[in-house]
Amino acid sequence: MVDECHLLWGDICGYVWGKTSERVTIPVLNEREKQTYYGALDYKTKEFLIYTAKKGDSENTIHFLEYLRSQRPEANLLIIWDGASYHRSQTIKDYLESLNSQRLPEDWLVTCERFAPNAPQQNPVEDIWLQAKRLIREFSFFCHSFSVVKSLFELSVHCQIFDFPKLHEYGTFS
């Protein structure tokens, strides 16, 4: 299961205690700094793979798919992702056609399916991103630069300390 996360410098904004009738925010400068992450959850092993890119687009999506293939060289991959425009682009269709053209559908190297439209609650990767961003907010006092934010985010994901009901929602694939 695959998704992208666009980490922005402003993601560490949080709330602090104040008068109950007032919302107190902590401003953060340099909101233009950003990092895009592609993530894939191996639903069978529960291993989470992460790939950094400058932005989410067709070209970087292909690089990510190639990265996944390099991580599972003997596997035929079933990618389940959302309906982002670049997931449905002609560039992606051409890439998949070039990979799979001489094969029967059951032998395709990469097969892509989509979650239901507008249903992020179906994708467990969304919960992984949320947990990583929550950790950043909880430890925002360490985040004096965007490089620290990215390091904390990546540490949270690489430690793979997540377990939530959605990880087991779809049964076990054989």
**Chain segment 97-130, per-residue pLDDT in tens:** 999 999 999 999 999 999 888 788 888 899 999 9
Angle, vertex CA 154, rays to CA 136 and CA 167, nearest 5? 90
**Chain segment 67-107, per-residue pLDDT in tens:** 999 999 999 999 999 888 999 999 999 999 999 999 999 99
Strands 2-8 and 110-114: unpaired
**Chain segment 4-32, per-residue pLDDT in tens:** 787 766 655 555 556 667 776 655 554 56
- Residue 151 pLDDT > 70, yes or no? yes
pLDDT computed for residue 165 by the predictor:
74
Q: How far is CA 14 from CA 2, 26, 124, 145, in A?
A: 27, 6, 24, 16
Spacing of C-alpha 63 from chain mean position: 14
User: Of residues 10 and 174, which shows the higher confidence score?
Assistant: 10
pLDDT computed for residue 123 by the predictor:
87
12-21, 58-67, 141-150 — most confident range: 58-67
> In sequence order, what DSSP letters do the residues of 83-103 get, joined into one string?
--GGGSSHHHHHHHHHHHTTS
Q: Which amino acid is at 167?
A: L
Residue 7, helix vs strand vs coil: strand
Spatial distance between the Cα atoms of 26 and 16, rounded to a whole number of angstroms: 8
Paired tokens of 65: 């798919």
Query: Would you give the DSSP letter of residue 106?
Result: G
Long-range contacts of 151-155 (CB under 8 A, 24+ apart): 153/7, 153/35, 153/37, 154/50
User: Of residues 61 and 166, which shows the higher confidence score?
Assistant: 61
Spatial distance between the Cα atoms of 4 and 169, rounded to a whole number of angstroms: 21
Residue 126 burial (CB count, 10 A): 19
Spatial distance between the Cα atoms of 125 and 77, rounded to a whole number of angstroms: 17
Rounding to the nearest 10 degrees, give the CA dihedral for residues 45, 38, 96, 81. Answer: 70
Which domains are delineated in the chain?
2-11+29-168 (3.30.420.10)
